[in-house]
Amino acid sequence: MRHVISVLVENQFGVLTRIAGMFSSRGFNIDSLAVGETTDPTISRITVVSHGDDQVIEQIIKQLRKLVDVIRVQDLTGESHIERELVLIKVACNKGNRAEIMEIASIFRANIVDVSAGSLVIEAVGAERKIDAMLDLLKPFGVLETARTGSVGLSRGPNALKV
């Protein structure tokens, strides 16, 4: 089962290496990884997406909590949460299909952020399924490049992962 794990860490050199190393040394796979500072510049939030049964995820969380720079760990999967991903997609286009590609982008509430004679760059934000669905529709035109951020997520309502 897919799990979204949110981790608050001390914003220090080597923290990401230690977390990635923990996953690697124990044979856990990281499907998606996103890192950024919080409103407190001394703390960063790492969002990790991984697959595993409840036992595997429980082990991942226990191992994360043992790391020195880890402040808090929360599995967002079991609760109501908001999850988003950003993607930039460069699609081959010509005069004949440019309007159709722009229509697909519009349907997904995506933005055209660059236009050239032979390509468009589309920026989209949404759940992983939404991004995958848009990519499936754009593939026949020729997807030249993609850059995906990985998922980020927060729990809904007043609950917050705090120090």
Residue corresponding to tokens 């290496």: 17
Domain end (from 20, 46, 78): 78
What's the residue count for the chain?
163
Q: What pLDDT, on a 0 to 100 scale, did the predictor assign at position 15?
A: 93
Which range (16-30, 80-94, 97-111, 113-127) has the least confidence? 16-30
Lookup: tokens for 32: 């998606």
The answer on pLDDT for 52 being more than 90 is no
Are residues 56 and 104 in contact, defined by beta-carbon separation less than 8 angstroms?
no
157 is a domain residue: no
- Are both 67 and 8 inside the same structural domain? yes
Q: What is the pTM of this model?
A: 0.85
Phi/psi for 76 (5° steps) reads -75, -15
Q: Which domain holds residue 71?
A: 2-78
Domain with residue 37: its CATH number is 3.30.70.260
- Are both 37 and 97 inside the same structural domain? no
Lookup: tokens for 109: 């509430």
Domain with residue 148: its CATH number is 3.30.70.1150
